[in-house]
Amino acid sequence: MQTYFYAIADFIQQQLRGNEIFLSYFSGERSDFVRFNQGKVRQPGSVEQRFLTVELVQGQRHATVELGLTGEMAIDQAQLLDLLGGLRDQLNHLVDDPYLLYSEQVNSTESLGENRLPEISQVLGEIMQAAQGHDLVGLYAAGGIFRGFANSLGQRNWHSSYNFNFDWSLYHQRDKAVKAGYAGLMWDSEEFGNTVQQVKSQLEILQRPAHTLAPGRYRVYLAPAALAEIIQLLGWGGFSVRGQKTKESALLTMMEHGTALNSQVNLFENTREGIAPGFEKKGFIKPAQVSLIEHGRHHSALVSPRSAKEYGMATNGAEENEEPVSLDLGAGNFPRAQVLSTLDKGIYINNLWYLNYSDRMAGRLTGMTRFATFWVEHGEIVAPLNVMRFDETVYHILGEQLLALTTEREFIVETDTYEVRSMKSIRLPGAMVNEFTLTL
């Protein structure tokens, strides 16, 4: 795909007229998908696809088009000739964009991921063995994901990643199931086996009569998947410099008034250890790391090229929406093996869902417990809990009531496959939180 993209970019460059400049962004994949239901393979398939975004620039005017590439050079060249004519027509009717900013320094890069994925037959064998006697529901997605950038200044960037993501559940009945995820660059049979055993143990507990709690404040353990839902919601404008400038960030009091989280909290946009590319659609190179929160205090924001031009700042290669794509929450020093004994009497929360802001400016969010949430007494799980709603502030969850973060962390890849497989990821520990508010 890399060679094909570069050939397409060279073709576009040959079609330019006068002072025209082009920017192009390539997105492609070769992926295998297997959908499971009731412990059986229901829908296997493979996808190979390529998409190209072309932006034609003339001075401060610019127009963009996206097309699907066929992989046949003659056909794709004919498409591009037609679309370039359409972009020129658009430019004649557009006004200057005062906030247009693209990289004018040529900084070519190449990051080639190593394909260490197992044969699909091996993975299916292990999943089917895990499913024996159980209603396993899930989706396995794996393969190569490719991103590229090229412009008429001569810059060429390429990024490839070979990864897998198995998003699955063992289902009991009604709203009772144990949900799990396993993602990475290399399949580890032992690690997957350990996850399976943990899920099966929790499934046995789900068969006990469910316990209903009264609304109130409880000590809780947020497993990494549950904590990820909270952190990812904060990524919806929370770390954006535009969100800060327009007073829409959920972390505004932290950014402007110095309100602090717990000193254990260290949050980064960690491009170096994620699976997303180290460049963005205007050609700017992303730093290996951007420190967002250090020791509980706001350090810096994500700054897209457009925001950089508008607010007179330097960009740090953030995406246009200024949402993180490779989040990394630092580990604590609390061993996961001590979670239940330390929780003593409280709630073990595996998953949360339906999260949204109940008071965005105050950093207050709400959502529901989901799947395997358990009541713990004397350091032992005794019963599953019926679904409840929570309403809390980030300054409570990750601030004054945060007791500990686990030493062990999990790597979670976003499961979104709409149009293309997502390259967003988050690496984070679990969290022990005191006086977590459940409302109904």
- Which numeric CATH code is attached to 2-200? 3.30.2290.10
How many C-alpha atoms does 48 have within 13 Å on its Cβ side?
Answer: 3
Paired strand residues for 285: 279
Alpha-helical runs (H) found in 163-273: 189-206, 224-234, 241-245, 252-257
Q: Is the pLDDT of residue 117 over 80?
A: yes
| pLDDT, average across residues 151-175 | 94
pLDDT bucket at 257, cuts 50 / 70 / 90: confident
pLDDT tier at 370, thresholds 50, 70, 90: confident
H helix and E strand count, the chain: 10, 18
What phi, psi does 283 have (nearest 5°)? 95, 5
8 Å CB contact between 386 and 372: no
φ/ψ (deg, to 5) at 341:
-65, -35
Q: What 3-state class would DSSP assign to 389?
A: strand
Choose among 293, 307, 335: nearest CA to 430. 335
Which ranges in 55-210 belong to alpha helices (H)?
A: 73-91, 120-131, 189-206
Q: Please return the burial class of 419, using the count of CB atoms within 10 Å of its CB with bins 0-12, 13-18 and 19+.
A: exposed
pLDDT in tens, 411-437: 999 988 888 899 999 999 999 999 999
**3-class secondary structure, 435:** strand
Written as one string, the DSSP assignment of 86-111 is: HHHHHHTTPPP-TT-----S---EEE
End-to-end CA distance of the chain: 52
Sequence ranges of the domains in the chain? 2-200, 216-438
pLDDT greater than 90 at residue 68: yes
**Residue type for position 280:** E
- The C-alpha atoms of residue 387 and residue 211 are separated, in whole angstroms, by 10
User: For 60-69, 139-148, 169-178, 246-255, which range has the lowest pLDDT when averaged over its residues?
Assistant: 169-178
Closest CA to 158 of 168, 167, 147, 169: 147
Q: What's the rounded Cα separation, in Å, for the pair 365 and 232? A: 12
Question: Strand, coil or helix: what is 307?
Answer: helix
Q: Is the pLDDT of residue 402 over 80?
A: yes
Question: Taking the model in full, what pTM does it have?
Answer: 0.94
